[in-house]
Amino acid sequence: MEMVFRWYGEGNDSVSLDQIKQIPGVKGIVWALHDVPAGEEWPMDKILEVKKQADEYGFNIDVVESVNVHEDIKLGLPTRDKYIENYKKTIEKLAKAGVKVICYNFMPVFDWTRTDLYKEHEDGSTALFYEKAKVENLDPMDLVHEIADNPKFTMPGWEPDRLKDLSKLFEAYKHVTEEDLWNNLKYFLEQIIPVAEVNDIKMAIHPDDPPWTIFGLPRIITNKENIRRFLDLVDSPYNGITLCSGSLGANPNNDAADMVRTFADRIPFGHIRNVKIFENGDFIETSHRTTDGSVDIYDIVKAYHENNFTGYIRPDHGRHIWGEECRPGYGLYDRALGIMYLLGIWDSLERQEK
């Protein structure tokens, strides 16, 4: 297991490489070019600039998260081919810089969705929170009108550039079914996986977060059955998943540890995150400790250990603690504590084998 840490880049992150360097066990940074719009080819000079910054601290840049997929690809529009070609060229460039894994997602319109960025825990820390009824009762067109009346309107996890085109996007997806999305994903994979194979880069799709339909938009990477179907679309070791225990774990019917045991050879990258699920379907992100949430983090790490996992792991979202001001979910302190918890479990399992 190789421990890595998400970093948003100089000027975009409250966490510095110097601070990450002081966390025991971290070997690399998980990064992206966040200023490059989805669908555009990544410039080589910007890729090499990140590599130079990481090299100064002895970090690898093996994992990229994310090379975002353009909406036209998800929609299956005729224009998708030009964006797929750009994606292929980006894969080739990343390979030249030493990248080994690309994390991405295929969620229509929105990435992760939350209703509160700083919901308070009983101990005074705060974390990302999802109020299920609020999302279920929110009419998408109400969002459109809200944005029209208030240009500064925002919601957790929803980029302003997407919000301004929300009406067009909802209209575009009006008749897109889950089967349509599956077909469009297969088309994408059939184009890029051969390029990934040649360049020795493993593609790792991230599950939908949360793992169910929101606002009537299709979501398909949501459970064990669908992950199996996804892997069978293009049966290649370079077509894999980013096993995210927090995204999948928001649904109590999902057993992330079982998925690790089932799909271990197709998991090049794992996110480990804990969430506490409430009876009404709400959930809040917690510390990584098993007893603090609803996800059995111990069993997940044990599953990786049983399968001699040699891929990349990062602590996913953490709480905001000790008054830290940071990107929601991405504070330094709780993620560092999470690493020590995860490595503690791993070390104890190693000791038991001796």
DSSP 75-118: HT-TTHHHHHHHHHHHHHHHHHTT--EEEE---SS-SS--SEEE
Q: How many C-beta atoms surround the C-beta of residue 174 within 10 A?
A: 9
The rounded mean pLDDT for the chain is 92
What pLDDT score does 157 carry?
Answer: 47
- The percentage of residues in the chain with a pLDDT greater than 70, rounded to a whole number, is 93
Residues 229-239: pLDDT tens digits? 999 999 999 99
241 CB-near residues (< 8 Å, 6+ apart): 204, 205, 206, 207, 221, 227, 230, 231, 263, 266, 267
Residues 153-205: pLDDT tens digits? 555 445 556 666 777 888 899 899 999 999 999 999 999 999 999 999 999 99
Dump the DSSP string for 251-318. STT--HHHHHHHHGGG-SEEEE--EEE-TTS-EEE--S-GGGSSS-HHHHHHHHHHTT--SEEEE---
Domain 2-353: homologous superfamily in CATH: Divalent-metal-dependent TIM barrel enzymes (3.20.20.150)
Residues 38-74: pLDDT tens digits? 999 999 999 999 999 999 999 999 999 989 999 999 9
Does position 255 have pLDDT exceeding 60, yes or no? Answer: yes
CA dihedral sign of residues 67, 34, 251, 166? negative
**Averaged over 276-287, what is the pLDDT?**
97
**Averaged over 325-354, what is the pLDDT?**
93
| Segments making up each domain of the chain, as ranges | 2-353
Please state whether the predicted TM-score (pTM) of the whole model is above 0.85. Answer: yes
Q: Name the band, by pLDDT with cuts 50, 70 and 90, for residue 12.
A: confident
268 CB-near residues (< 8 Å, 6+ apart): 100, 101, 202, 204, 240, 242, 311, 312
Q: Name the band, by pLDDT with cuts 50, 70 and 90, for residue 349.
A: very high
- The percentage of residues in the chain with a pLDDT greater than 90, rounded to a whole number, is 80
Q: Name the band, by pLDDT with cuts 50, 70 and 90, for residue 145.
A: low
**Residues annotated as part of the active site:** 206, 244, 271, 316-317, 330
